[in-house]
Amino acid sequence: MQAMDQFSLGKRKVAIIGVGFVGASIAYALTIRNLAREIVLIDVDRKKTEGEALDIQHGIPYMGISSVYAGEYRDCTDCDLIIITAGRHRMPGESRLHLISDNVKIMKNVVESIQKHYTRGVLMIVSNPVDILTSLCARWMQLPNGRVLGTGCILDTSRFVRCIADYTQLNTEVVKGFIVGEHGDSQVPIWSRLSIAGFPMSEYCENVGLEWNEDVRQNIAGKVKSMGAEIISGKGKTHYGIATCVCSLADAILNQRLTIASVSTPLEGEYGVKNISLSLPSIIGVNGVERRLRERWSDEEFNSFKANAEKLKQIIADL
């Protein structure tokens, strides 16, 4: 009841902190889907931010009626959702973990600025390395668990589903599967739960005479893992894919359309992991992550997930 009261008072107000390609793409996607009534853009480059706001606002009205404007951190007051994209982006040849030093400093400054004006709402971390920054942001903000979430493996999962759909030559809607763990090179595809229209993947492939073995799985996993680097090599940055993923999460938070997605939050003992943020299939709602779901995985998948946790714990300890 309390969550519903909080939602009913909301104005569907969103703040986006960091208005580079990712932040601007998210603002545009939110606008054309009419997911927010008010979108405030916050960035150190005020002139560019004003330009982005005007450009989005000048679209054909029936394609989106959101109020989009350049603002300041004080405009984070009474936001239903605060999206943080601020930070240095990956360069060709870099992994997400190469961004740690620069982006931890940026995130610390952003959080300190938000805290002066925060009254309510969900914080969504998009900046990389997202799992580490989500852990730190949650620690600094001291909000109820789940109120700070990272986009985590939602984009990896989307790419995974697309690869499986391409391999089976089926629509993505019939493919159900998740990537969990780190949003990075050690991400874990959960092959044991992958299904096609309710059929286990191996059973479906057997039915239609499609090859399904370790070589096929490793080939697909490699494609999913390298897609971000491939896009960056080709065009210098990725922003459209994550913008649509953020819209899916924003819809669940702003409009109470519950959805399930593989996002990153600080774990509280799930799979024996505590005090580190990793992605798990989670129910997303008005309070962010309402519940993390526990699945039955293979031993190999479980061990890979645990290895993710140990790796990230060590990185945070070294910080």
H, E, C per residue of 19-69 = CCHHHHHHHHHHHHCCCCCEEEEECCCHHHHHHHHHHHHCCCHHHCCCEEE
Q: CA–CA separation, 252 vs 139, rounded Å?
A: 24
Compute the chain's Rg from CA coordinates.
19
Give the C-alpha separation, 157 to 209, whole Å.
Answer: 25
How many residues in total does the chain contain? 319
- Indicate which residue of 98, 117, 183, 239 is catalytic: 183
Helix segments in the chain, DSSP class H: 2-9, 21-32, 46-57, 100-115, 130-141, 154-168, 201-208, 214-235, 240-255, 299-318
What is the Cα 198 distance to its own chain's centre?
Answer: 26
CA distance 153 to 157: 6
Is-catalytic flag, 117? no
* DSSP notation for 130-147: HHHHHHHHHHHH-PPTTS
Q: Note the helical H segments in 144-213.
A: 154-168, 201-208
Q: Which residues are catalytic?
A: 183
